[in-house]
Structure 1
Amino acid sequence: MSLIDRIATCFASLGPLGRLPASGTWGSAAAALTAPVFFMPAPWAVRLLVLALVFVGGGLACDIVERNTGIKDPGLCIIDEVLGQWITYLPFAALTPWQLFWGFLLFRVFDILKPAPVRASECWMPGGYGVMLDDALAGVYAAMALGLLLALGL
């Protein structure tokens, strides 16, 4: 395995987290725990840039991991969970710990259930970008649901 392959695998898997059981949940938890420090305090434009970089970098990295493993959307790739979880928090400047938890839970539900068109979106883009896109859409659903809960007084 080349150095580029090792770097891509480390990025796509968030280091050792991608090798844990229920790796997607661990990836989402890592994103939820780091969002209040590394993502949410940033200005809106910076957050959009971060999401774009995670999407592009994650797509490239997941593509390499798919090619090396021969598996479509391998469980090892959890950088897509970071993208989706941070998209869930994108509209909000600050959230309480309970609101962060609800955002985490909502994203996991939409990511697992994959309501239309989330499941179909896996095929809209080739390789690793399909891996990233379905979680991005699950994050959009979760952001809307969290916004609704907050509007209702959560």
Structure 2
Amino acid sequence: MTDEHGEHEPEAPQAILPPGFLRHPVHLLAFGFGSGAAPRAPGTWGSLVAIPIWYLFAWLPLPFYWLVVFFACVIGIWLCGKTARDLKVHDHGGIVWDEFAGMWIALGLMPEDIYGVLMAFMLFRLFDVVKPWPISWLDEHLPGGLGIMVDDILAGGMALVSLWAIDAWLMPYLV
């Protein structure tokens, strides 16, 4: 966010979690099983925690895999919206279910080795942090849970397309 002089404004401090906040199942899921409560880089921690969970359903046939990801996105809109309303903060940094969904989209090509998983992770984090257009515009203009989820869904999609392009166009020349 920039001020009227074009300079970056400092980030607003995140709300302190009320005692027992993560005991509520909705909040626990929105906070990525607690990974979002990390004091530094909660989005990165949430993205990392999404990987072992991905292995639990990555074996599914592709139509079922994408159905799981679709439902994670739809449910995430509600989870993230409710958690943000309960905290009275639009997009608390600790809400990382959106990173889970974005990572699962980025991993949609089903990488066969750890290098593919790491590449998906790095590309997803790059697009999530840099927020190229239209991600940045949507992130600033969409309200509630949809606004929380959509930037990571698009970042995951951009990472997926980038991985596909690397695999289709670059890998034949490297192998």
1:23-42 paired onto structure 2 within 5 Å: 23-35=42-54, 37-42=55-60
Corresponding residue for 1:118?
135
State the match for 1:132 in structure 2: 149
Residues 76 and 149, structure 2, Cα contact 8 Å, conserved in 1: yes
Find the aligned partners of 1:95 and 1:115 in 2 and give their Cα distance. 28
The residue that corresponds to 2:96 in the other structure is: 78
Quote the Cα distance in structure 2 between the aligned partners of 1:124 and 1:131: 10
Query: Shift of the alpha carbon at 1:116?
Result: 0.4
Q: Name the count of aligned residue pairs.
A: 151
Q: Deviations over 1:97-121 (max 9, x none)?
A: 0111011000000000000001122
Which residue of structure 2 aligns with residue 98 of structure 1? Answer: 115
CA contact (8 A) 1:87 1:143 kept: yes
Q: TM-score, normalised by structure 2?
A: 0.78
Aligned residue number for residue 30 of structure 2: 12
Q: Which residue identity lines up with residue 7 of structure 1 in the other structure?
A: P
Q: TM-score, normalised by structure 1?
A: 0.88
User: Does structure 1 residue 107 correspond to structure 2 residue 124?
Assistant: yes
Unaligned runs of 5+ in 1: none
Quote how far apart the aligned CAs of 1:123 are: 5.1
Distance 1:39 1:24 in 2: 21
Q: Which residue of 2 aligns with 1:147?
A: 164
Counterpart amino acid of residue 167 in structure 2? L
Q: Which residues of structure 2 form unaligned runs of 5+? A: 1-17
Q: How far off its partner does 1:131 sit?
A: 0.7
Query: Do residues 49 (structure 1) and 67 (structure 2) align?
Result: yes
What is the distance in 2 between the residues matched to 1:60 and 1:85? 18
Q: Whose helix fraction is larger, Structure 1's or Structure 2's?
A: 1
Partner Cα distance (1:121, 1:83) in 2 = 17
Larger displacement relative to structure 2 (65-74 or 116-125):
116-125
Distance in 1, Cα, partners of 2:141 & 2:68:
22
CA deviations on 1:104-146 (whole Å, 9 max, x unpaired) are: 0000000000000011222564311111111000011101111
**Which is greater in Rg?**
2
Paired residues of 2:43 and 2:96 also in contact (CA < 8 A): yes
